[in-house]
Structure 1
Amino acid sequence: MSTWIRPAHAEDIDEIAKLNDAAFGQSGEGKIVRKLKRDGDSLLSLIAHDDSRIVGHIEFFRILVDGTPRAVGLGPVSALPGRQRQGIGSGLIRTGLLALEGAGESLVFVLGHADYYPRFGFSAETAAPFRAPWSGPAFMARVINTGAPEAGELTYPPAFG
């Protein structure tokens, strides 16, 4: 069955939230996605579709660096149970990063598996000079265009409160 990617539409939010809840086995990520959308903090939301239903989702949101909108956060990214480990998440990440690069964004952060995100160019070393609510090997960043900030205080949207 073929899978294709498109921007999420407003009417997709319920299905996206359910998909995130199913993928993560809890309601936290579904609540984050709903709050990002409701608060206007969603920068880019993409879905993977298989012609019958949404099978994957990725969310990108604005992060402030020293109070200025100069970075992007990635997450959550999810695929339906039963459709995981089939490249859906990878396709969503690559498509999203290309779209952000084309839009002139310069820096993307992610809090995720330290053995998964480096394959997309993310590193803990790039994120280390930034002050955020979390740190360590799971907190990573990737520069996607020139002019990216090299350090600073990060402010996340209220959805991550």
Structure 2
Amino acid sequence: MSVQVRPEGPEDEGAVAAVVTAAFTGAGAEPGPEAAFVHELRLEPGAYLARYSLVAVEDGVVVGHVLASRIHVGQAPALALAPVSVAPTHQRSGVGRQLVERVLAEATVAGETLVLVLGDPAFYGRFRFEPASEVGITGPYAGAEFMARRLAADAPVGEAVYSPVFGRLEAGRL
């Protein structure tokens, strides 16, 4: 399998919606709240950062997508990694790993200091994410799934404040 990771382009929006939907609800399903979440983040002033919206492509077909958007911890900028989506046919093949590694590399090069994620500790632990509470970060999420990856020694601590789009997703209003 030869998968290439590249920035998402405007022409990829429909394919991204299909991959996000398939990853969370199954192939052929109607677009669900996760696809609406990605769309709404693209429209949210200050939240969408095009450099952190990446697609995995195999033979010209989008098979994965990752998005990191702007949030704040205290007054400092940080990133929220969500969602990471891989087509069911490509899950457990390394595509998700490639996407996460690439977005973390892009964030590091850009001088970002902190990335937060709500996800499986077994998966994200591979990328040196650790419980957010252990590094001094609080926020709307709790538990072992609320994780942080410090990209710099001066990464902020404090309360994480997310885009309102996250709240609308949780409330089922997308």
Q: TM-score, normalising length from structure 1?
A: 0.92
Q: Distance in 1 between matches of 2:98 and 2:118?
A: 18
Q: Distance in 2 between matches of 1:4 and 1:110?
A: 23
Q: Which residue of 2 aligns with 1:29?
A: 34
Q: Distance in 2 between matches of 1:82 and 1:52?
A: 15
Q: Which residue of 2 aligns with 1:83?
A: 90
1:54 partnered with 2:62: yes
Q: Which residue of 1 aligns with 2:172?
A: none
**What's the C-alpha RMSD, in Å, of the aligned pairs?**
1.5
Identical aligned residues as a percent? 39
- 1:80 Cα shift? 0.4
Q: Aligned match of 1:117 in 112, 121, 124?
A: 124
99-108 or 119-128, which deviates more? 119-128
In structure 2, relative to structure 1, the CA distance for the partners of 1:125 and 1:61 (3 Å cut) is: closer
Q: Secondary structure at the match of 1:24?
A: helix
Unaligned runs of 5+ in 1: none
1:16-75, Cα deviation, whole Å (9 max, x unpaired): 112101100071211111011112422210000012310000000011122x34211101
1:74-94, Cα deviation, whole Å (9 max, x unpaired): 010011011100000000100
Amino acid at match of 1:55: V
8 Å Cα contact 2:116-2:149 kept in structure 1: yes
Q: TM-score, normalising length from structure 2?
A: 0.86
| Consecutive aligned runs of 4 or more in structure 1 exceeding 2 Å deviation | 125-129
Q: Which residue of 2 aligns with 1:70?
A: 77
Q: Secondary structure at the match of 1:85?
A: coil
1:73-126, Cα deviation, whole Å (9 max, x unpaired): 101001101110000000010011011000000011000012110010000156
- The structure whose residues are more often helix, as a share, is 2
- 1:128 Cα shift? 5.5
8 Å Cα contact 1:128-1:135 kept in structure 2: no
In structure 2, relative to structure 1, the CA distance for the partners of 1:73 and 1:48 (3 Å cut) is: same
Q: Distance in 2 between matches of 1:126 and 1:86?
A: 31
8-17 or 109-118, which deviates more? 8-17
